[in-house]
Amino acid sequence: MTEPVDAGLFQQQLLSWYGRCGRDLPWRQTRDPYRIWLSEVMLQQTGVQAVIPYFERFVSQFPDVESLAAAPVDAVIELWAGLGYYSRARNLHAAAQKVCEEFQGRFPSSVHDLMTLPGVGRSTAGAIRAIAFDQHGVILDGNVRRVLCRLFAWQDDPRSSAAEKQLWQWATLLTPQRRCHDYAQAIMDFGATLCTPRQPQCASCPMTALCLGYQQGIQEQLPRKRQRKTVPLRQEVAVLIEYDGRFAVRQRPLTGMLAGLWEFPSQSYTEPQSPEQLCHHAQRLAGDHDRPLTALGVVRHVYSHFRVDVSAFYCQVDVTLTECFSTCRWLSKKELTDWPLHGSHKKIVDTLLMQCGK
């Protein structure tokens, strides 16, 4: 069966474009598998501009896989704070330890072995293999998925099992056996800077003669959007407990959602809570039902599978009550701004605590 897109011509056009328009990024100045792996994990679900300062801080503090593996996981999570999707930080640490323990500190080059590392899936493994080792590695990240849907005019659900199978086949068809390093970066750059999610720059695109979506005039409608599911809303109470200019924070368990991050004393609820109930919960968290509380306001934070409205309250305690929070750490306002609080509680500091002058 003849494929609808000429793979050889696509590769030629793409690599020529990349030679003129490829981005200069910090992780492109090396072939070190450690740094390439680090960048690829950071770039999962996060844009390039957000990643750059985190990448530079990480390689400054952990210049090689051995130093990352030897670090306490808390230090890794703290350095990751603000980048989101925190399971990536825990996987990063676990993968570094696996490389040191099972691969003698050297990253494997096969897709199979790379996929044994926590947090490394098929596409990330292909990217590492291609970019670090200049060996054939197939990529199907969000940018490549979008390019392929437009190039081959795929009009069905882009995340269906049928789409997954077909898109991997097309990605494999287009991936060359030579210049693997350049092609991997070129196809990702092409999706990120030219074949963009909104308003693709078709007037500047070298692929219009090959692109079936463009030829049919439907490129801006692809990939088709999936029907959005209703995202549940949860409520949460958080109490900012102050003693002598410092606030109590506690660390979440090292497993589960937001593992290892920090938060104010809090409790979440899946059932609707009235304002009176929320205030009662806050007083219980504060350890004193009679102590006056100040309502600071509500912040909303969106996670991948639900939204949460956090009602924040403030109270002061004296030294006799600090014993109720013996497992907490007490931090100043300045320390709070740099501490690895999870997203919704970081918003409490940024939008409520500072504004209220507490």
pLDDT at 74: 87
Same domain, 25 and 164: yes
The type of residue at 216 is Q
| pLDDT tens-digit readout, 146-156 | 999 999 999 99
* CATH at 41: 1.10.340.30
* CATH at 309: 3.90.79.10
Same domain, 155 and 269: no
**What's the predicted TM-score (pTM) here?**
0.82
| pLDDT tens-digit readout, 75-121 | 998 899 888 888 899 999 999 999 999 999 999 999 999 999 999 99
User: Does 228 reside within a domain?
Assistant: no
Q: Among residues 221, 243, 272, which one ends one of the domains?
A: 221
User: Does 189 reside within a domain?
Assistant: yes
How much is the average pLDDT of 278-300?
Answer: 87
Q: Among residues 221, 247, 274, which one ends one of the domains?
A: 221
Q: How confident is the model at residue 159 (pLDDT cuts 50, 70, 90)?
A: confident
The answer, yes or no, to whether residue 357 has pLDDT greater than 70, is no
Q: Among residues 221, 244, 260, which one ends one of the domains?
A: 221
Cα Rg of the chain, angstroms = 24
User: Does 75 reside within a domain?
Assistant: yes
| pLDDT tens-digit readout, 168-180 | 999 999 999 999 9
Same domain, 168 and 257: no
Same domain, 215 and 311: no
Same domain, 192 and 121: yes
The encoded tokens of residue 72 equal 């306490």
Same domain, 208 and 238: no
Same domain, 240 and 327: yes
Those residues with Cβ within 8 angstroms of residue 26's Cβ, 6 or more apart along the chain or in another chain: 39, 52, 55, 56
Those residues with Cβ within 8 angstroms of residue 132's Cβ, 6 or more apart along the chain or in another chain: 31, 32, 33, 36, 37, 107, 109
Q: How far is 28 from 31, CA to CA, in rounded Å?
A: 7
| pLDDT tens-digit readout, 32-70 | 999 999 999 999 989 999 999 999 999 999 999 999 999
How much is the average pLDDT of 308-313?
Answer: 95
User: Does 60 reside within a domain?
Assistant: yes
The answer, yes or no, to whether residue 5 has pLDDT greater than 80, is yes
Is the CB of residue 132 less than 8 Å from the CB of residue 119?
Answer: no
Q: How far is 183 from 191, CA to CA, in rounded Å?
A: 12
Please report, rounded to a whole number, the percentage of residues in the chain having pLDDT higher than 70.
97
pLDDT at 355: 63
The encoded tokens of residue 291 equal 């102590």
Length of the chain: 358
User: Does 161 reside within a domain?
Assistant: yes
Same domain, 75 and 213: yes
Same domain, 200 and 261: no
Catalytic residue among 3, 40, 220, 323: 40
Number of domains into which the chain is organized: 2
Same domain, 182 and 247: no
User: Does 331 reside within a domain?
Assistant: yes
Q: Does the active-site annotation cover 276?
A: no
| pLDDT tens-digit readout, 185-231 | 999 999 999 999 999 999 999 999 999 999 999 999 999 987 777 88
Mean pLDDT of the chain: 92
The encoded tokens of residue 329 equal 């750490």
- Supply the range of the domain harboring residue 333: 233-356
Helix (H, G, I), strand (E, B) or coil at 262: strand
Of 257 and 228, the structure prediction assigns the larger pLDDT to 257
The encoded tokens of residue 116 equal 């044994």
Same domain, 49 and 157: yes
Same domain, 203 and 335: no
